Amino acid sequence: MKIIAFGGSNSKQSINKRLAAYASSLFENAEVEVLDLNDFAMPVFSVDLEKEIGQHEVAQAFLNKLKKADILVVSMAENNGNYSVAFKNVFDWSSRIEKDVFQHKPMLLLATSPGGRGGASVLGIAQTLFPRYGAEIKGSFSLPVFGSNFDLQENKISNVELDNELKNIIKSNF
């Protein structure tokens, strides 16, 4: 089983990338590849630019990575209650090549943030929108107050109750 995981952020210290990597490690007998959105940087999407340069090869590379997955583990960063610009740009370029960006792959959808809502706003937006773009969301999880609930040394959720909740979501849905 091949898992492609990524955090919806271009931060080099992305807490969402860390959460996606940890959640992916909980799947048994899985080969995991954790993507870095910085590897998929492109100019800001516009229809004018698309007319000028055509479909961006980096967006195609992103889609090719997703195509190799049996399961997607995606943890959305929240910027002002919505997607990060880095994720939105990759998503916009990719959706112009293939509307079903997520290619009907089973998805574990996550979010975390430093605050108590744990990225709840962006998680809700993604739960509504992603299925329109080929996501088969099988489970979702929000980790509040990342700094208090995630052990950066051990790279795992330190709050036992929340850790068990995530493990149960994976066990029950995948």
Query: Residue 60 belongs to what domain range?
Result: 2-168
Q: Residue 174 falls within a domain, yes or no?
A: no
Q: What is the pLDDT of residues 74-119, one digit of tens each?
A: 999 999 999 999 999 999 999 999 999 999 999 999 999 999 999 9
The pLDDT score that the predictor gives to residue 161 is 98
Tell me the average pLDDT of the chain: 97
Q: Residue 173 falls within a domain, yes or no?
A: no
Query: Under 8 Å CB-to-CB from 157, ≥6 apart: which residues?
Result: 22, 143, 149, 150, 151, 163, 166
Q: Residue 119 falls within a domain, yes or no?
A: yes
What CATH number does the domain containing 30 carry? 3.40.50.360
- Name beta bridge partners: 1: none
| pTM of the full structure | 0.97
Region 30-56 average pLDDT: 97
Q: Residue 138 falls within a domain, yes or no?
A: yes
What total number of domains does the chain contain? 1
